[in-house]
Structure 1
Amino acid sequence: MGQALSNEDSAPRSHDELTKELANKFAEKCFTPLELYSLKDVFNSLADREHEVRYLKEGTIARYLEVPDALDVIPVLFQMVSYLGAFPFLQEAPAVLGLEQMVMVVTILTERYRRVLTNGAANRRKLLFRSLAVYDRKLSESQPDERAKSSVETDRSGTSRHGNGAPIAASPSGFAIDEPGDDEDPGLDDDDELVLAAFDSLDYISALKQGGLPVTHGAMIPADNFRKLIMLLLLVAPLGPQESLSSYSTRLSGDELENLRKTAGCVFAAFGNSEQVPGIKFLRFNTIVPASMPFIFDGLNALFEHFLFSKNLDFHRRVGGQDQPANPPQEPVQPLLENTGSIMNLNVLSQISFFIPGSSLFRRLRLLYSGDEDGFSMGSFESKVFNWRAPTILLVSGTRLPDEALHEHSGPASAFLSTLPSQRFPPGNKSGGKHQRLTFGVYLDQTWKHTHRECFGSEDSIMFQLEPVHDVFRASTMNKDYASFTKPSGSAPLGGISFGCPPPQPTQAYRRSNIMSLGPVSLALEDSFEFGCFTHNYTSQGGAFQTSVARKFDFQERFEISSIEVWGCGGDEEAKHQAERWAWEAREAEARRKINLGTGDIEADRALLEMAGLVGANRSGGSMA
């Protein structure tokens, strides 16, 4: 830490002075002069004044950012912003959002703090959790299988006090702040890396002793609040820095809003059953987010960058010394998704962007294959997908097969289930019933090809589940059985597409050749694309794909496929290459179909047809005349 203020005679700086100093440092090093001018201009145009204090209100921020009322998320968002505005003196939150406080908010939520806070600056996850959490003993104790022992003491006057003697203040949101002694979230009450880095940048270590971090025992994010925030994060995931959030208003009406709410429910399910878990504690939050949704908060970057683009600045009025129209014609904007599929839509695309960078997804996906349009066959799949020279995303959706199907004497479902190993795990989510809709997917960064002895794919492959529970299974290095594409043959009667399974191997034991070989964490689709099976053998600790960090138990999903799609990740160059390949293959196929007949030499033509087996042996081959 710095030595400049180590002299005991030096007068300690006040919190206001330190806050202003840090805000000035952020403003100087984290923003360009134009961005800083815009931020000040936006603040001055929006701020209310009271007793010579200028500040932003909750409704003002919501209207400026165009946060829709339909999501009912504005109070949650303002709680987060007013907490971050108190940085680095978080114990003083909620903060009055003056200009210095808004500098803190924009710097943190756009991740520009990395330019100043080098120590611990790579992680804002703990800070975001604090900004969304409440501290309520009753809420914490309502968690199943958890015990909370209060360290609150009551003095003779009946005033509740912490163990250190400090009185307990009432929370403005109505929650009684408490400090359970048995907090099951190790790490939350450790020194916050960003706070320490901020004090370090000010050369003022004693500031932590003055302020310190707020009490966080029993902290949790209320389930309803987090569900609403997830809906907002799904909406803003594709947002550009200067793109208006109101342009996505079509996603907030009728069935679209219901689908957004449903997708948010699948994401929230990764943290637990909302009916049983009233809130999310830090240990769960800090486990699920980095593993299954590391980019979930990235949409906030572009949303809060709106403060850095003042609407009062018009750069089109004078260009080259000539006046320009105030509203120049806008170039057409490429849609986020050129066409939707039976599975893929904007909400699903946003959900996938929580674990695959949005720069590889939005405005870059092309539908290569759809079972509904191209037919449920491996031949059609091959002709549509194999020529794509860029990463692909396979999505498959269906309904869970009931256990009764195994006991049926005939039928395609019974035949499929008979090819699975005898070991049976329970379903991953029992609350949805036997016909629950399931959606799985796989991201592959390598070109598809036929599998003979070795699988294809790489360590960047990702297997995931989108519905009813959001989950991600990343590739491991235990083996390289990432993906296989095998058509049925005499030596390998069980073909199909699989991920995480060993490739089909010829065997002499016919009694074993009709049983699928499933990997510990795997997805297998049989060759007719009628049925699929996802296996999660947590006890085995994984194979080509890692086990779930959210569901630490064995489960298996056997389902009837209703839709299957493959989407290509890439731009115009990849699409052009694929079109050229298709055209070349079409020409080659046409050339192979043509036979050099009609030369005038009937005997030579007849000999050629006999060699092809088309005439002879009582086959006339038709007239040669």
Structure 2
Amino acid sequence: MGQSLSDVARPPSKEEITAELAEKFARKCFEPLELYSFKDNFKSLADHQQNVRYLKEDTIARFLELPDILAVSPIIYHMLTYIGAFPFLQDAPVILGFEQMIMVVAIMTERYTKILTRGASNRRKLLFKSLAVYDRKLSEIEKQQHDVSTSVSNSNTHAPGFAIDEAGDDLDDEAIDDDELVLAALDSLDVNDAFKTGDSHAATTHGAMIPADNFRKLIMLLLLVSPLDSQESLSTYVNRVAGTELEELRTTAENILSAFINVEKSPGITYAQFSHAIPTNFPFLFNGFNPLFEHFLFSKNLDFSKHKDGSISKSVAPAVVLPPLLQDNGQIMNLNVLSQLSFFIDGNELFRRLRLLYSGSEAGFSMGSFETKVFNWRAPTILLVSGTRLPDIPNNSGSEGYFNDSLPPKRFPNGSAPDRDRLVFGALVRQPWRHTHRDCFGGEDMVLFQLAPHHDVFPASSLNREYVAFAKPPIAHPGINIGCPHPKATQSSRHESLRHLGPVSLVIDSSFEYGVFTHDYSSSGGAFSTSASRKYNFQERFQVDEIEVWGCGGDEEARMQREHWEWEAREAEARRRVNLGTGDIAADRALLEMAGLVGANRSGGSMA
């Protein structure tokens, strides 16, 4: 009976919980060799002060090879000192010691999902909080707006340095719930419920906002690291952060940032804006962090070529030389566009796997050239079209006038500022291209998108299957129609003489000279979903500058296409070499049938 109550149920301290969780992460999330490498890297990198080993900002920046010109090192370090406090986020920022870095690497590489399956989807909120700046005045304003559900138009009532694009939209159920990731971590250790609630500052996203300039810099880094391999040095891509390449990287980041906020109206991104944009527009935005932080799991001090006696093996395997990220050059497609695509298309389908099938500037702007180059590809393709916005006052003469006459009157404004008139649209088509005589082709796995000057993604609908039509004359409106009803073969009225534009659609005319993109946010039932970030109507009419089609696939797809091209060349040559002109039509036809050039469904041309 001599025990005191204090000896019976003493709850574990935060330090004990952190140590136990770090040990569990290290044991369950890392392979033995990875853990050995992590310990070796930490030991060689850590500074030492008062019996504490820790990593400094410049040490991490040098190890990860973060380019100085991006000025992103302070942003990354701020993220890590927040995530390192896991699961007690209210204690952030923390010193990045050994246990804290275990947390950082496990979360940034998504290894934690091997343990915390219940909180796997909550990494997005954790990353937002690690990037955000908290302002209590802004939090109070948000609460007032939520209570009255009214829009506040006067930005001077907001806390200095902040503005809100859409009042009353920044508080949702997800934003005020406890962190599922934190709760899952504590549950995995069977920790007392008393530790499941913390400071309300850390438990909510009220008053939190990511400064736009910080997020722009982070996007530039994410564009740079998106194709990175876990053992590939970031310095390999040093040419992408110099000269015109750097300017193009910055422009691409600006296009992506526009999917979150209008930087002219708001200097920061709220959690509501962040959580609305990510799932549709950027499901793979942070995937580049995985290989970047896996660098901590590979030690350069490990040399498997050495034997126990100290001798060096002579049969060391040569270093693997990776093929280029982009095997062909395009006028639209470049490494920045490729990285941008990887934010919503799995990078395993893109990096080192794209082939340029068709380029209008090289093969000719015609449906025939498009057909010849693209129709034989038996794997997914990516269509890209770039153009210059047509003036608001239409030209009613020539081909432009003919194109405008084929469209209904323009009812919607442009989708971006007048000074940003270079437009890039595209579509991921997973089915082989074909002629559409009566109906469309495509599937629910299609994606329609815009890359510039505004990033937007429009997933395919499962109800309306009017995905893609490739229609040639005598169809009323030949060309490429994406998201529109299939064109009719006849015209019986003025109404039918106009193109029928789908609510969310892209149309390229048969001459590949003009195009139009329509976003009718007020309509429903289209083949593609409306924008998650631009909740308004707009339409872009443009003159086509370039069209490209890129094939997704490997060597097998390229071999099949090459064999089909070679077969077509042999067929054409056989037709050319057949010696006709005997005057005996029956004999000539018999000769063509023996060559397999006529008969069945082959016409072989006129024999008369």
Residue 184 in 1 paired to residue 187 in 2?
A: no
Q: Quick one: which amino acid aligns to residue 516 of structure 2?
A: C
Is residue 542 of structure 2 the alignment partner of residue 553 of structure 1?
no
Residue 146 of structure 1 deviates from its aligned partner by 6.6
Q: Is the 8 A contact 2:255 2:451 kept in 1?
A: yes
Answer with 208-217 or 562-571: which moved more: 208-217
Which aligned runs of 4 or more in structure 1 are off by greater than 6 angstroms? 138-144, 146-152, 319-322, 605-609
1:475 matched to 2:460: yes
Structure 1 pair 123/184, CA: closer, same or farther in 2 (3 Å)? Answer: closer
Q: Does 1:390 align with 2:379?
A: yes
Rounded to whole Å, the distance in 2 between the matches of 1:228 and 1:554 is 30
Q: What is the Cα deviation at residue 340 of structure 1?
A: 2.0
> Residue 77 of structure 2 aligns with which residue?
78
Q: Hey, what's the Cα distance between the residues in 2 that align with 1:511 and 1:319?
A: 87
- Residue 585 (1) aligns with residue 574 (2): no
Cross-structure match for 1:97: 96
Matched, 1:419 2:406: yes
Q: What residue in structure 1 maps to residue 86 of structure 2?
A: 87
Equivalent residues in 2 for 1:45-64, closer than 5 Å: 45-64=44-63
1:290 matched to 2:262? The reply is no
Percent of aligned pairs sharing the same letter: 58
Counterpart-to-counterpart distance in 2, 1:95 and 1:584: 66
Give 1:109's aligned residue. 108
Higher mean displacement: 330-339 or 64-73? 330-339
In the alignment, the residues of structure 2 paired with residue 182 and residue 58 of structure 1 have an alpha-carbon distance, to the nearest angstrom, of 37
Q: TM-score, normalised by structure 1?
A: 0.86
Task: Encode CA deviations 1:90-147: one digit per residue, 9 max, x unaligned.
Answer: 0000010000000000000110111111222233100000000001256777999478
Q: Distance in 2 between matches of 1:329 and 1:358?
A: 26
What is the distance in 2 between the residues matched to 1:200 and 1:207?
A: 10
Report the TM-score, using the length of structure 2 for normalisation. Answer: 0.89
Counterpart check, 1:201 vs 2:201: no
Cα distance, 1:263 vs structure 2? 0.2
Query: What is aligned with 1:454?
Result: 439
1:589-600 alignment, distance < 5 Å: 589-597=572-580
Q: How does 1:606-625 map to 2 (within 5 A)?
A: none
**What's the counterpart of residue 584 of structure 2?**
604
Letter of the 2:196 partner, please give it: L
8 Å CA contact retained: 2:476, 2:490? no
Structure-2 change in CA distance of 1:437 and 1:603 (3 Å)? closer
Within-5 A mapping of 1:2-17: 9-17=8-16
Q: Does 1:260 align with 2:260?
A: no
Q: How does 1:338-349 map to 2 (within 5 A)?
A: 338-349=327-338
Q: Any conservation in 2 of the 1:317–1:324 contact (CA below 8 Å)?
A: yes
Q: Shift of residue 466 of structure 1?
A: 0.1
> In the aligned structure 2, how far is the partner of 1:8 from the partner of 1:71?
54
Kept after mapping to 2: 8 A contact 1:317/1:326: no
Give yes or no for the alignment of 1:220 onto 2:209: yes
**Which amino acid counterpart does residue 559 of structure 2 have in structure 1?**
K
Q: What root-mean-square deviation, in Å, do the aligned CA atoms of Structure 1 and Structure 2 show? A: 2.9
Q: For 1:510 and 1:586, how far apart are their aligned partners in 2? A: 44
> In the alignment, residue 352 of structure 2 is paired with which amino acid?
R
Kindly tell me the number of residue pairs found equivalent between the two proteins: 571
Work out whether 1:463 is the aligned partner of 2:443. no
Per the TM alignment, residue 148 of structure 1 is displaced from its structure 2 partner at its CA by 9.9
CA-CA distance at 1:413 after TM superposition: 1.2
Aligned-pair distance for 1:453?
1.3
In structure 1, distance between residues paired with 2:194 and 2:586: 100
In the alignment, is the contact (CA less than 8 A) between 1:295 and 1:354 conserved in 2? yes
1:495 matches 2:478: yes
Matched, 1:43 2:42: yes
Does structure 1 conserve the Cα–Cα contact (< 8 Å) formed by 2:54 and 2:96? yes
Larger CA deviation: 196-205 vs 461-470: 196-205
The alpha-carbon distance between structure 1 residues 326 and 39, as it changes in their structure 2 partners (threshold 3 A), is: farther
Instruction: Please report how far the alpha carbon of residue 14 of structure 1 lies from its aligned counterpart in structure 2 after TM superposition.
Output: 1.1
Contact 2:88 2:198 in 1 (8 A): no
Q: How far 1:511 sits from its partner (Å)?
A: 3.3
In structure 2, do the counterparts of structure 1 residues 423 and 379 end up closer, same or farther at CA, with 3 Å as the change threshold?
Answer: same
Amino acid aligned to 1:248: Y
Shift of 1:421: 1.1
Q: Secondary structure at the match of 2:122?
A: coil
Distance 1:245 1:52 in 2: 33
The one-letter amino acid of 1:439's match is V
Shift in Å at residue 533 of structure 1?
0.3
